[in-house]
Amino acid sequence: MLKHCFFLFCAVLGLAGTTLAGCRKGPPSQAEFALGTLCTVSLYDQGKPEVYRELFSRFREIESRMSVTLPDSELNRINAHAGIEPVQVQSDVFEVLELAARYAELSDGAFDPTIGPLVSLWNISGDEPRLPSQEEIDALLPLVSWRDLELDREGRTVFLKRPGMALDLGAIAKGYAADEAAGILRKNRIKRAIIDLGGNILAYGEKQDRRPWRIGIQNPLDSRGSYIGIMEVRDHTVVTSGVYERFFEEDGVRYHHILSPADGYPARSGLLSVSVVTRRSADADALSTAVFVLGYERGKALVESSEGVGAVFIFEDKSIRLCGGADFVLTDENYRIVSN
Ligand code: FAD
Ligand code: MG
Protein backbone atom coordinates (compact mmCIF):
# COMPACT_ATOMS: atom_id res chain seq x y z
CA MET A 1 0.00 0.00 0.00
CA LEU A 2 2.78 2.33 1.00
CA LYS A 3 4.67 1.48 -2.16
CA HIS A 4 1.60 2.27 -4.20
CA CYS A 5 1.05 5.71 -2.67
CA PHE A 6 4.61 6.66 -3.30
CA PHE A 7 4.60 5.69 -6.95
CA LEU A 8 1.30 7.39 -7.64
CA PHE A 9 2.70 10.50 -6.00
CA CYS A 10 5.75 10.35 -8.25
CA ALA A 11 3.80 9.72 -11.41
CA VAL A 12 1.61 12.74 -10.74
CA LEU A 13 4.50 14.86 -9.53
CA GLY A 14 6.61 14.15 -12.56
CA LEU A 15 3.80 14.41 -15.04
CA ALA A 16 1.80 17.39 -13.94
CA GLY A 17 1.43 18.79 -17.47
CA THR A 18 0.18 15.51 -18.87
CA THR A 19 -2.11 14.97 -15.92
CA LEU A 20 -3.75 18.36 -16.42
CA ALA A 21 -4.23 17.61 -20.11
CA GLY A 22 -5.83 14.34 -19.09
CA CYS A 23 -8.31 16.18 -16.83
CA ARG A 24 -9.90 17.96 -19.77
CA LYS A 25 -10.69 14.72 -21.56
CA GLY A 26 -11.86 12.61 -18.65
CA PRO A 27 -10.79 11.29 -15.28
CA PRO A 28 -6.99 11.05 -15.22
CA SER A 29 -6.93 8.09 -12.89
CA GLN A 30 -9.01 5.52 -11.10
CA ALA A 31 -8.05 3.36 -8.14
CA GLU A 32 -9.63 0.17 -6.84
CA PHE A 33 -8.60 -2.52 -4.41
CA ALA A 34 -7.75 -5.75 -6.23
CA LEU A 35 -4.96 -8.34 -6.28
CA GLY A 36 -4.46 -7.70 -2.56
CA THR A 37 -3.41 -4.12 -3.13
CA LEU A 38 -4.52 -0.72 -4.41
CA CYS A 39 -4.49 -0.77 -8.21
CA THR A 40 -4.31 2.62 -9.88
CA VAL A 41 -4.74 3.23 -13.58
CA SER A 42 -4.02 6.63 -15.09
CA LEU A 43 -5.10 7.01 -18.69
CA TYR A 44 -3.59 10.22 -20.00
CA ASP A 45 -5.64 10.24 -23.17
CA GLN A 46 -9.10 8.86 -23.95
CA GLY A 47 -9.81 8.05 -20.32
CA LYS A 48 -13.18 6.53 -21.14
CA PRO A 49 -15.10 4.90 -18.28
CA GLU A 50 -15.55 1.70 -20.30
CA VAL A 51 -11.77 1.26 -20.63
CA TYR A 52 -11.35 1.65 -16.88
CA ARG A 53 -14.18 -0.84 -16.37
CA GLU A 54 -12.55 -3.39 -18.68
CA LEU A 55 -9.19 -3.02 -16.93
CA PHE A 56 -10.51 -3.44 -13.40
CA SER A 57 -12.78 -6.32 -14.30
CA ARG A 58 -9.77 -8.12 -15.80
CA PHE A 59 -7.79 -7.49 -12.58
CA ARG A 60 -10.64 -8.97 -10.57
CA GLU A 61 -10.89 -11.95 -12.90
CA ILE A 62 -7.16 -12.63 -12.50
CA GLU A 63 -7.51 -12.33 -8.72
CA SER A 64 -10.50 -14.71 -8.69
CA ARG A 65 -8.37 -17.34 -10.42
CA MET A 66 -4.88 -16.79 -8.97
CA SER A 67 -5.50 -15.72 -5.36
CA VAL A 68 -4.67 -17.96 -2.43
CA THR A 69 -6.93 -16.01 -0.09
CA LEU A 70 -10.12 -16.57 -2.12
CA PRO A 71 -11.22 -20.13 -1.28
CA ASP A 72 -12.75 -20.81 -4.72
CA SER A 73 -9.80 -19.69 -6.82
CA GLU A 74 -8.33 -22.04 -9.39
CA LEU A 75 -5.06 -21.89 -7.49
CA ASN A 76 -6.73 -23.19 -4.33
CA ARG A 77 -8.41 -25.93 -6.35
CA ILE A 78 -4.95 -27.06 -7.53
CA ASN A 79 -3.65 -26.85 -3.96
CA ALA A 80 -6.59 -28.88 -2.60
CA HIS A 81 -5.79 -31.63 -5.11
CA ALA A 82 -2.07 -31.80 -4.30
CA GLY A 83 -0.94 -35.41 -4.31
CA ILE A 84 -4.38 -36.51 -5.49
CA GLU A 85 -4.97 -35.61 -9.13
CA PRO A 86 -4.28 -33.03 -11.87
CA VAL A 87 -6.66 -30.10 -12.19
CA GLN A 88 -7.66 -28.46 -15.46
CA VAL A 89 -7.30 -24.66 -15.37
CA GLN A 90 -8.00 -21.57 -17.47
CA SER A 91 -5.36 -20.71 -20.04
CA ASP A 92 -4.21 -17.57 -18.17
CA VAL A 93 -3.52 -19.58 -14.99
CA PHE A 94 -1.63 -22.13 -17.04
CA GLU A 95 0.37 -19.43 -18.81
CA VAL A 96 1.45 -17.81 -15.53
CA LEU A 97 2.41 -21.19 -14.08
CA GLU A 98 4.50 -22.02 -17.15
CA LEU A 99 6.31 -18.71 -16.81
CA ALA A 100 6.74 -19.26 -13.06
CA ALA A 101 8.24 -22.70 -13.69
CA ARG A 102 10.63 -21.17 -16.23
CA TYR A 103 11.83 -18.60 -13.70
CA ALA A 104 12.16 -21.29 -11.05
CA GLU A 105 14.51 -23.12 -13.40
CA LEU A 106 16.42 -19.99 -14.49
CA SER A 107 16.93 -18.91 -10.87
CA ASP A 108 17.85 -22.39 -9.69
CA GLY A 109 14.82 -22.43 -7.40
CA ALA A 110 15.36 -19.01 -5.76
CA PHE A 111 12.00 -18.06 -7.25
CA ASP A 112 9.65 -20.94 -6.49
CA PRO A 113 5.86 -20.86 -7.10
CA THR A 114 5.47 -23.81 -4.70
CA ILE A 115 6.53 -21.57 -1.79
CA GLY A 116 2.89 -21.72 -0.49
CA PRO A 117 3.41 -23.88 2.66
CA LEU A 118 6.12 -21.52 3.96
CA VAL A 119 4.09 -18.40 3.14
CA SER A 120 1.20 -19.82 5.21
CA LEU A 121 3.51 -20.80 8.05
CA TRP A 122 5.07 -17.35 8.43
CA ASN A 123 1.75 -15.62 7.63
CA ILE A 124 3.63 -12.36 7.14
CA SER A 125 0.76 -10.75 5.19
CA GLY A 126 -1.81 -11.96 7.71
CA ASP A 127 -3.13 -10.57 10.99
CA GLU A 128 -0.93 -12.72 13.19
CA PRO A 129 2.46 -13.29 11.65
CA ARG A 130 4.89 -15.27 13.80
CA LEU A 131 8.41 -16.61 13.95
CA PRO A 132 8.06 -20.35 13.36
CA SER A 133 10.22 -22.95 15.09
CA GLN A 134 13.07 -24.63 13.19
CA GLU A 135 11.13 -27.92 13.38
CA GLU A 136 8.12 -26.35 11.69
CA ILE A 137 10.28 -24.95 8.91
CA ASP A 138 12.17 -28.22 8.45
CA ALA A 139 8.88 -30.11 8.18
CA LEU A 140 7.65 -27.92 5.31
CA LEU A 141 10.85 -27.26 3.36
CA PRO A 142 10.65 -30.51 1.34
CA LEU A 143 7.22 -29.44 0.06
CA VAL A 144 8.72 -26.36 -1.61
CA SER A 145 9.80 -28.05 -4.78
CA TRP A 146 9.03 -26.58 -8.20
CA ARG A 147 10.29 -29.76 -9.87
CA ASP A 148 7.22 -31.50 -8.42
CA LEU A 149 4.92 -29.11 -10.24
CA GLU A 150 3.63 -30.98 -13.28
CA LEU A 151 2.24 -28.92 -16.16
CA ASP A 152 0.53 -30.69 -19.04
CA ARG A 153 0.05 -28.22 -21.87
CA GLU A 154 -2.14 -30.46 -24.02
CA GLY A 155 -4.77 -31.07 -21.35
CA ARG A 156 -4.05 -27.72 -19.67
CA THR A 157 -3.77 -29.50 -16.35
CA VAL A 158 -1.69 -28.75 -13.27
CA PHE A 159 -0.59 -31.29 -10.70
CA LEU A 160 1.30 -30.86 -7.46
CA LYS A 161 2.80 -34.27 -6.99
CA ARG A 162 2.93 -34.43 -3.20
CA PRO A 163 0.20 -33.90 -0.60
CA GLY A 164 0.69 -30.69 1.35
CA MET A 165 2.31 -28.82 -1.55
CA ALA A 166 0.77 -25.43 -2.36
CA LEU A 167 1.20 -22.81 -5.06
CA ASP A 168 1.52 -19.07 -4.38
CA LEU A 169 1.69 -16.61 -7.30
CA GLY A 170 2.14 -13.46 -5.18
CA ALA A 171 5.53 -12.82 -6.77
CA ILE A 172 4.43 -12.91 -10.41
CA ALA A 173 0.65 -12.48 -10.88
CA LYS A 174 0.61 -8.70 -10.46
CA GLY A 175 3.17 -8.45 -13.25
CA TYR A 176 1.01 -10.66 -15.43
CA ALA A 177 -2.02 -8.47 -14.64
CA ALA A 178 -0.09 -5.36 -15.72
CA ASP A 179 0.76 -7.05 -19.04
CA GLU A 180 -2.88 -7.93 -19.52
CA ALA A 181 -3.72 -4.28 -18.89
CA ALA A 182 -1.24 -3.25 -21.59
CA GLY A 183 -3.05 -5.57 -24.02
CA ILE A 184 -6.37 -3.89 -23.17
CA LEU A 185 -4.80 -0.45 -23.71
CA ARG A 186 -3.47 -1.51 -27.13
CA LYS A 187 -6.86 -2.90 -28.11
CA ASN A 188 -8.53 0.38 -27.15
CA ARG A 189 -5.86 2.44 -28.96
CA ILE A 190 -4.80 4.23 -25.78
CA LYS A 191 -1.45 5.95 -26.34
CA ARG A 192 -0.19 6.70 -22.86
CA ALA A 193 -0.94 5.41 -19.39
CA ILE A 194 0.53 4.46 -16.04
CA ILE A 195 -0.59 1.18 -14.50
CA ASP A 196 0.36 0.94 -10.81
CA LEU A 197 -0.46 -2.36 -9.16
CA GLY A 198 0.76 -1.86 -5.62
CA GLY A 199 4.08 -0.47 -6.80
CA ASN A 200 4.49 -2.71 -9.84
CA ILE A 201 4.60 0.08 -12.39
CA LEU A 202 3.96 -0.28 -16.09
CA ALA A 203 4.70 2.93 -17.98
CA TYR A 204 2.80 2.56 -21.22
CA GLY A 205 3.82 4.66 -24.22
CA GLU A 206 5.53 7.96 -23.47
CA LYS A 207 4.54 11.34 -22.10
CA GLN A 208 2.57 13.69 -24.29
CA ASP A 209 5.64 15.86 -24.86
CA ARG A 210 7.38 12.68 -26.12
CA ARG A 211 9.65 12.54 -23.10
CA PRO A 212 10.02 9.34 -21.05
CA TRP A 213 8.01 8.71 -17.91
CA ARG A 214 9.83 9.34 -14.63
CA ILE A 215 9.40 6.55 -12.11
CA GLY A 216 10.60 7.04 -8.54
CA ILE A 217 12.49 4.29 -6.75
CA GLN A 218 11.33 3.96 -3.14
CA ASN A 219 13.73 4.71 -0.32
CA PRO A 220 13.71 1.23 1.28
CA LEU A 221 14.56 2.68 4.72
CA ASP A 222 11.88 5.33 4.76
CA SER A 223 8.34 4.34 5.64
CA ARG A 224 7.02 7.74 4.53
CA GLY A 225 7.37 6.85 0.88
CA SER A 226 10.18 9.10 -0.23
CA TYR A 227 12.26 8.22 -3.24
CA ILE A 228 16.01 8.00 -3.67
CA GLY A 229 16.21 8.26 -7.43
CA ILE A 230 14.41 8.22 -10.73
CA MET A 231 14.27 5.83 -13.64
CA GLU A 232 13.27 7.21 -17.00
CA VAL A 233 11.36 4.74 -19.14
CA ARG A 234 9.14 4.45 -22.20
CA ASP A 235 6.97 1.41 -22.73
CA HIS A 236 8.72 -0.39 -19.90
CA THR A 237 7.88 -1.67 -16.47
CA VAL A 238 9.67 -1.15 -13.16
CA VAL A 239 9.04 -3.70 -10.44
CA THR A 240 10.63 -3.65 -6.98
CA SER A 241 11.00 -6.35 -4.36
CA GLY A 242 12.11 -5.09 -0.98
CA VAL A 243 12.26 -5.63 2.76
CA TYR A 244 9.91 -2.73 3.46
CA GLU A 245 6.77 -3.95 1.69
CA ARG A 246 5.43 -6.52 4.17
CA PHE A 247 7.15 -7.49 7.38
CA PHE A 248 6.92 -7.89 11.14
CA GLU A 249 9.50 -7.33 13.85
CA GLU A 250 10.35 -9.47 16.85
CA ASP A 251 13.18 -8.82 19.32
CA GLY A 252 14.51 -6.11 17.04
CA VAL A 253 14.76 -8.39 13.99
CA ARG A 254 12.78 -7.64 10.84
CA TYR A 255 11.17 -10.64 9.13
CA HIS A 256 10.02 -9.71 5.62
CA HIS A 257 7.90 -11.56 3.08
CA ILE A 258 10.42 -12.70 0.48
CA LEU A 259 11.43 -16.17 1.57
CA SER A 260 14.45 -18.19 0.63
CA PRO A 261 13.35 -21.66 -0.54
CA ALA A 262 16.82 -22.89 0.47
CA ASP A 263 16.39 -22.43 4.24
CA GLY A 264 12.79 -21.29 4.68
CA TYR A 265 13.66 -17.91 6.22
CA PRO A 266 13.25 -14.39 4.82
CA ALA A 267 16.07 -13.96 2.31
CA ARG A 268 19.18 -12.33 3.81
CA SER A 269 21.39 -11.25 0.98
CA GLY A 270 22.60 -7.85 2.20
CA LEU A 271 20.00 -6.20 -0.04
CA LEU A 272 17.23 -3.81 0.95
CA SER A 273 15.58 -3.87 -2.44
CA VAL A 274 15.98 -4.75 -6.09
CA SER A 275 14.17 -2.90 -8.87
CA VAL A 276 14.00 -4.57 -12.25
CA VAL A 277 13.19 -2.78 -15.49
CA THR A 278 12.12 -4.64 -18.58
CA ARG A 279 9.40 -4.69 -21.22
CA ARG A 280 7.14 -7.38 -19.84
CA SER A 281 5.92 -6.88 -16.30
CA ALA A 282 5.56 -10.59 -15.44
CA ASP A 283 9.28 -10.98 -16.24
CA ALA A 284 10.21 -8.01 -14.03
CA ASP A 285 8.00 -9.27 -11.19
CA ALA A 286 9.48 -12.79 -11.22
CA LEU A 287 13.00 -11.47 -11.70
CA SER A 288 12.85 -8.90 -8.91
CA THR A 289 11.86 -11.60 -6.43
CA ALA A 290 14.36 -14.12 -7.81
CA VAL A 291 17.22 -11.64 -7.80
CA PHE A 292 16.40 -10.45 -4.28
CA VAL A 293 16.68 -14.04 -3.03
CA LEU A 294 19.81 -14.81 -5.08
CA GLY A 295 21.69 -11.74 -3.84
CA TYR A 296 23.96 -9.48 -5.83
CA GLU A 297 26.49 -11.75 -7.56
CA ARG A 298 24.12 -14.47 -8.71
CA GLY A 299 21.29 -12.00 -9.26
CA LYS A 300 23.47 -9.84 -11.48
CA ALA A 301 24.43 -12.89 -13.52
CA LEU A 302 20.74 -13.72 -14.01
CA VAL A 303 19.89 -10.13 -15.03
CA GLU A 304 22.79 -9.98 -17.48
CA SER A 305 21.86 -13.30 -19.05
CA SER A 306 18.30 -12.05 -19.73
CA GLU A 307 17.85 -9.82 -22.76
CA GLY A 308 16.61 -6.26 -22.29
CA VAL A 309 16.67 -6.36 -18.48
CA GLY A 310 18.18 -3.78 -16.11
CA ALA A 311 18.35 -3.73 -12.32
CA VAL A 312 19.02 -1.36 -9.43
CA PHE A 313 20.37 -3.10 -6.32
CA ILE A 314 20.15 -1.18 -3.02
CA PHE A 315 22.28 -2.58 -0.20
CA GLU A 316 21.99 -2.37 3.58
CA ASP A 317 25.02 -0.03 3.69
CA LYS A 318 23.18 2.41 1.36
CA SER A 319 25.35 1.61 -1.60
CA ILE A 320 23.70 1.10 -4.97
CA ARG A 321 24.82 -0.99 -7.87
CA LEU A 322 23.33 -0.89 -11.35
CA CYS A 323 23.44 -3.59 -13.95
CA GLY A 324 22.13 -4.46 -17.39
CA GLY A 325 21.79 -0.85 -18.53
CA ALA A 326 19.35 0.53 -15.92
CA ASP A 327 18.74 4.24 -16.64
CA PHE A 328 18.80 5.42 -13.02
CA VAL A 329 19.52 8.89 -11.64
CA LEU A 330 20.30 9.11 -7.90
CA THR A 331 18.65 12.06 -6.12
CA ASP A 332 19.26 11.21 -2.44
CA GLU A 333 22.72 12.12 -1.21
CA ASN A 334 22.54 9.64 1.66
CA TYR A 335 23.01 6.87 -0.88
CA ARG A 336 25.90 6.34 -3.28
CA ILE A 337 26.31 4.49 -6.53
CA VAL A 338 29.35 2.24 -6.58
CA SER A 339 30.80 0.53 -9.60
CA ASN A 340 30.36 -3.21 -10.07
P1 FAD B 1 7.23 -9.85 -4.59
O2 FAD B 1 8.69 -9.94 -4.29
O3 FAD B 1 6.86 -9.74 -6.01
O4 FAD B 1 6.52 -11.17 -4.06
C5 FAD B 1 6.63 -11.63 -2.74
C6 FAD B 1 5.49 -12.56 -2.49
O7 FAD B 1 5.66 -13.74 -3.28
C8 FAD B 1 5.38 -13.00 -1.04
O9 FAD B 1 4.45 -12.21 -0.32
C10 FAD B 1 4.91 -14.44 -1.20
O11 FAD B 1 3.51 -14.47 -1.42
C12 FAD B 1 5.61 -14.90 -2.47
N13 FAD B 1 6.99 -15.35 -2.29
C14 FAD B 1 7.81 -15.22 -1.21
N15 FAD B 1 9.03 -15.77 -1.45
C16 FAD B 1 8.98 -16.27 -2.70
C17 FAD B 1 9.91 -16.97 -3.52
N18 FAD B 1 11.16 -17.26 -3.09
N19 FAD B 1 9.52 -17.36 -4.76
C20 FAD B 1 8.27 -17.10 -5.22
N21 FAD B 1 7.33 -16.43 -4.49
C22 FAD B 1 7.69 -16.01 -3.25
N23 FAD B 1 -2.44 -9.90 -0.13
C24 FAD B 1 -3.29 -9.85 0.91
O25 FAD B 1 -2.89 -9.39 1.98
N26 FAD B 1 -4.57 -10.30 0.81
C27 FAD B 1 -5.03 -10.82 -0.33
O28 FAD B 1 -6.19 -11.21 -0.40
C29 FAD B 1 -4.17 -10.92 -1.46
N30 FAD B 1 -4.59 -11.45 -2.63
C31 FAD B 1 -3.73 -11.50 -3.70
C32 FAD B 1 -4.18 -12.05 -4.90
C33 FAD B 1 -3.34 -12.10 -6.01
C34 FAD B 1 -3.81 -12.72 -7.27
C35 FAD B 1 -2.01 -11.57 -5.91
C36 FAD B 1 -1.08 -11.59 -7.09
C37 FAD B 1 -1.57 -11.03 -4.72
C38 FAD B 1 -2.42 -10.98 -3.60
N39 FAD B 1 -1.99 -10.44 -2.38
C40 FAD B 1 -2.84 -10.43 -1.31
C41 FAD B 1 -0.62 -9.91 -2.21
C42 FAD B 1 0.40 -11.04 -2.04
O43 FAD B 1 0.09 -11.76 -0.93
C44 FAD B 1 1.86 -10.55 -1.94
O45 FAD B 1 2.09 -9.98 -0.70
C46 FAD B 1 2.22 -9.55 -2.94
O47 FAD B 1 1.88 -10.05 -4.21
C48 FAD B 1 3.70 -9.28 -2.82
O49 FAD B 1 4.11 -8.56 -3.91
P50 FAD B 1 5.43 -7.69 -3.85
O51 FAD B 1 5.48 -6.99 -5.15
O52 FAD B 1 5.47 -6.86 -2.63
O53 FAD B 1 6.63 -8.73 -3.66
MG1 MG C 1 7.90 -10.23 -7.76
Does domain 63-160 fall under CATH 3.30.930.10? My reply is: no
- Choose which residue among 1, 37, 243 to substitute to test ligand 1 binding: the one with the highest number of ligand atoms within 8 A of its C-beta: 37
Distance 211 CA to ligand 1 centre (A): 33
Q: How far apart are CA 30 and CA 42, in angstroms?
A: 6
pLDDT of 83 reads 98
Say whether pLDDT at 338 is over 60: yes
- 69 Cα nearest atom in ligand 1: 28
Mean pLDDT, residues 300-320 taken together: 96
pTM: 0.93
Whether 15 shows a pLDDT value over 60: the answer reads no
Distance between CA atoms of residues 114 and 159, nearest Å: 11
Percent of the chain with pLDDT over 90: 81
Residue nearest (by alpha carbon) to ligand 1 atom 39:
36
> Ligand 2 center to residue 171 CA distance, Å?
4
The answer on pLDDT for 209 being more than 70 is: yes
Q: What is the pLDDT of residue 245?
A: 82
Q: Is 165 in the pocket of ligand 1 (CB under 6 A)?
A: no
- Closest-CA residue, ligand 1 atom 14, reads 258
Cα–Cα distance measured from residue 165 to residue 42, given in angstroms and rounded to the nearest whole number: 38
Q: What is the pLDDT of residue 9?
A: 40
Measured distance CA(99)–CA(205) in Å, rounded: 25
DSSP-derived letter for residue 212 is P
What residues have CB less than 8 Å from 147, skipping those under 6 apart? none
Task: Give the pLDDT mean for 239-262.
Answer: 92
Picking from 279, 278, 259, 281, the residue whose alpha carbon sits closest to that of residue 269 is 259
**Which comes out higher in pLDDT, residue 8 or 55?**
55
pLDDT of residue 224: 62
Report the topology of domain 9-58+190-337: T-fold (3.10.520)
Tell me the pLDDT tens digit for each residue of 124-141.
Answer: 988 889 999 999 999 999
Inform me whether the pLDDT recorded for 311 exceeds 50.
yes
Average pLDDT, the chain: 91
Distance 121 CA to ligand 1 centre (A): 14
| Average pLDDT rounded to a whole number, residues 163-169 | 98
Substitution candidate for ligand 1 out of 7, 96, 168, 243 with most atoms within 8 A of CB: 168
Choice from 89, 102, 257 to test ligand 1 binding pocket (greatest atom count within 8 A of CB): 257
Domain ranges of the chain: 9-58+190-337, 63-160
The region of weakest confidence among 195-209, 221-235, 291-305 is 221-235
Q: Which residues contact 44 (CB under 8 A, 6 or more apart)?
A: 15, 18, 19, 21, 22, 28, 191, 192, 193, 194, 207, 208
